[in-house]
Each structure stands twice: as structure tokens, then as C-alpha cells.
Amino acid sequence: MTSTVPAAPSVVAAPAVTGSALLTYIDEASGERVDLTAADLGDWAARSAALLRDGCGLRPGDTVAVLLPPHWQSAAVLLGAWAAGLTVAFRPWATAGLAGDDDGPYDAVFVSRQRLRSPLEVVPQARHRFVVDTAPPGAAPELTPPGYRDFLAEAGTHGCEPPAYETVRAGDAASPDGTTYQQWRVIAEGIAAELGLAAGDRLAVDVATEEQPVKWLLTPLSVGASVLLCANCDADAFAARVATEDVTHVLG
């Protein structure tokens, strides 16, 4: 098992404290709480990378579409795809139902059950299609939609050894617009500098107001900070979390 989050070179930094929670996800509506250390998140990112690389046969330069809200599983998918050297297209929730140049075909697509239920949603074409269940534990189980595979079930069959990076270069494209891994790191570090975020800090994010993973995921990880994702939280609940969760900075 690895003590740092596996990802493509120059994208994320090692966390300042590996034994504490690197990523916390809290759903105020359901009471769900998930605390992941760097090793935990690293394991799931490595499993995701192995699913894409070994399970799907994808290689650096292949494309993945991610239609997921900020969530701990979304972090695992994104870091795993980048660790495998793939080009990742992220579609925010605000663009649901909007067709465009990013509608594929892709080599793989990840979509949440909630988003898949929307009659407005346009899911890009892809050779491999995964559904991600972001419902809290204990929710009534649902059948996997035809043509899709369940992400957690599939990723859980793969090992958690970090992938080899020899075929992934910092200058490779990490997104369809040609932005490289190194450029994403520079962007993330720039946002961190604007926030005054540094190693050992903890960034709180209201997931209803911030969708872009470069901010809620890459920005804190690029400087060795941790992140608290708060879902379904009103202003009072969010303020309470900021006060009680050792938060040093708030996004937005």
C-alpha cells in the first residue's frame, strides 16, 4: 500500500500528514461521513487506475469522461484516471442535457446514478460505461443499468498497488483541450497561492457551489493540504463544520 496519493507526475504533492484524513466527505442530509487517509485514497485511486488500465485495456492518451459531483469516489476516479495517464474530460452538473463537442465517443465514461436518472442528461458514447453510486450507505440497493458496470464493485476486484509512471509524462495532455499534467499543477498551485493554502492546511468546500475538480481536489493536494467536502449543507451547517473540523480555509 502506498502512503501518498498515486497520480501522474507533477499533478499532486504528498500530503503533509499521512496518518490523518486527507479527504473527508460529509452529507448533512443523510449523516454519512467518510474519512480517507492518504493511504486510503491512494488505494482507491490505484484500484481505479488498474480498472482502467488492466480491466479496460486503456493506455496513456485514451480518453475518459467524468460526470460526477464532488465526492470521495469522484476523487478516486479522477486520480486513478490521471495516474493511468489518461485524458480526462469533466462535465459540470450545470451542463447536464447540453450536447456539444464533448459528447464523445470516449474510451470510458463514469456517471452517477443520480445524474443518470435525469431525463435531460446526455451521456457521451463510450466503449466502457460505469455507474457510480453516490447514495449514502444503507440506501436501498439499485440494479446496475443495462450497458453499465458498477464502479465500486469493479474497482474492488483490482489490487491497490500504485501504477508505474514510466509511460506518463508531465507534458502529456491531461484534458481534451490540451492542458498538460504540469500545467494543471501550475494552475492548482496558483489557486492555492491566491487562497493562501499551504501544507497542513484544511480546505472546506460546499459541493453545491463548487464543481470543478481543479479547485476542490487538485488545489489542496497540489500543496499537501487536506479537503473537507460538505454536501447538502445550508449556511448554518457549513459554518458549524468550518468551526469544528479544523478548517483553515474556505473555498468560495
Residue 77 burial (CB < 10 Å; 0-12/13-18/19+)? buried
**Model confidence pLDDT, tens digit, residues 117-170:** 876 677 888 999 999 988 766 666 678 889 999 999 999 998 777 655 456 788
Q: Which domains does the chain have, with CATH numbers?
A: 21-250 (3.40.50.12780)
> For 123-236, where are the E strands, in sequence order?
126-132, 149-150, 202-206, 226-231
Contact call for residues 202 and 249 (beta carbons, < 8 A)? yes
**Model confidence pLDDT, tens digit, residues 32-83:** 999 999 999 999 999 999 999 999 999 988 999 999 999 999 999 999 999 8
Residue 51 gets which letter from DSSP? I
